[in-house]
Amino acid sequence: MAPVRRRVLVAALAGAAATAALLPLGGCGFALRQPAALPFTRLAVSGFAPAAPMADALRQALPRSVMWVDDPRQAERVLVVLEDRLTRTVAASTAGGQVREFRLRVTLRFRLDRPDGTPLLPETQLELTRDMSYSETAALAKQTEEAVLLRDMRLDMAHQLLEMLAASGRAPAA
Kindly state whether residues 7 and 80 are assigned to the same domain: no
75 SS3 class:
coil
Kindly state whether residues 45 and 121 are assigned to the same domain: yes
Kindly state whether residues 13 and 69 are assigned to the same domain: no
Q: What percent of the chain has pLDDT over 70?
A: 76
74 SS3 class:
helix
In a domain, 76, yes or no: yes
**Tens-digit pLDDT profile for residues 154-173:** 999 999 999 999 988 664 44
In a domain, 122, yes or no: yes
Question: Residue 37: what pLDDT?
Answer: 81
How many separate domains does the chain show?
Answer: 2
Kindly state whether residues 24 and 44 are assigned to the same domain: no
Kindly state whether residues 65 and 7 are assigned to the same domain: no
Backbone φ and ψ of 132, nearest 5°: -135, 130
Label residue 18 exposed, middle or buried (CB < 10 Å: 0-12, 13-18, 19+): exposed
Kindly state whether residues 133 and 66 are assigned to the same domain: yes
**Tens-digit pLDDT profile for residues 116-144:** 989 999 999 999 999 999 988 898 999 99
Question: Residue 174: what pLDDT?
Answer: 41
The answer on pLDDT for 146 being more than 80 is: yes
Kindly state whether residues 13 and 93 are assigned to the same domain: no
Kindly state whether residues 60 and 7 are assigned to the same domain: no
Kindly state whether residues 27 and 59 are assigned to the same domain: no
Kindly state whether residues 17 and 82 are assigned to the same domain: no
Question: Residue 173: what pLDDT?
Answer: 45
Contact of 35 with 162, CB cutoff 8 Å: yes
In a domain, 173, yes or no: no
Max CA separation in the chain (angstroms) = 70
Helix (H) or strand (E) holding 91: strand 77-93
| CA atoms of 45 and 120, how far apart (whole Å) | 14
Mean pLDDT value of segment 40-69: 94
Helix ranges restricted to H, the chain: 2-27, 53-61, 139-168
Kindly state whether residues 66 and 141 are assigned to the same domain: yes
Going by the DSSP 8-state scheme, the letter that residue 72 receives in this structure is: G
Q: Residue 24: give the domain boundaries.
A: 1-32
Report the Cα 107 to chain-centroid distance in Å: 13
| CA atoms of 125 and 103, how far apart (whole Å) | 19
In a domain, 174, yes or no: no
In a domain, 61, yes or no: yes
User: In this structure, what CATH number is given to the domain that contains residue 130?
Assistant: 3.30.160.150
Kindly state whether residues 119 and 150 are assigned to the same domain: yes
In a domain, 163, yes or no: yes
Residue 79 CB neighbour total at 10 angstroms: 22
Q: What is the mean pLDDT of the chain?
A: 86
Q: Which residues pair with 45 in a beta bridge?
A: 79
